[in-house]
Amino acid sequence: MTGTPPEPVQIVKQRRDAALTALVQGVPYIKWLGIEFERRGDELTAVLGYDDKLIGNPFLPALHGGVTAAFLEVTAIISFSWVMFWDEIEDGRFDAQSLVEGQLPRLPKTIDFTVDYLRSGLPRDAYARAVINRSGRRYASVHVEAWQDNRDRKYAQATGHFLMPDREV
């Protein structure tokens, strides 16, 4: 059997990580909230590192409902963009370098976003993952779940609809 040998693992990892970093670090609000993304293959997990400024009720204390909503929305948009750009990242069309230089691609726009608050957010780190339930030519439907100590005990979940950006690819 002949053919091109598989790419060295470092090159694959570097390309994917550079694309993810470019996508996330270009957005000031993601940095301000302290959200980071961990990657396993194409699977993303968003991590919201605890900070006192994220508190909504200091007497309980509990995370602000708006922080939870924002965390879920950021996770939905980045996860959805990641899926959208995956093929381009893999075949090298996605130019991470130009992104770092501030030329971010058009991201999907939120049409609506519904948050279901299941438990109060504890004053510690939170995690979230998104599932793309439908991704059409113009619209997409994305579901996000967030948890803290136990993956099986979600503290919030959300469903949002997004408008695909106009792109010439």
Partner 1 sequence: MTDKHTKMAAQFVANIPHANALGMTVSEIGEGKAVMALPYNSDFIGDPQTGVIHGGAVSALMDTCCGAAVMCHPSSPGGTATIDLRIDYMRAATPGQTLTTTAHCYHITRSVAFVRAITTDEDTTLPVATATGAFTVEGRRGV
For 91, 128, 132, 159, the CA distances from 88, given in Å and listed in that order, are 5, 24, 18, 26
The C-alpha angle with vertex 135 and arms to 109 and 92, in degrees rounded to 5, equals: 85
Which segment (6-14, 60-68, 137-145, 147-155) binds partner 1 by CB under 8 A? 60-68
Whether residue 61 has a cis bond before it, omega within 30° of 0: yes
Q: Which of 80, 113, 147, 155 binds partner 1 (CB under 8 A)?
A: 113
By beta-carbon proximity to partner 1, the closer residue of 2 and 59 is 59
Does 64 bind partner 1 (CB under 8 A)? Our answer is yes
Which segment (15-23, 42-50, 81-89, 115-123) binds partner 1 by CB under 8 A? 115-123
Q: Which of 23, 115, 130, 142 binds partner 1 (CB under 8 A)?
A: 115
Q: Report the alpha-carbon distance of residue 20 to residue 39 in Å, rounded.
A: 8
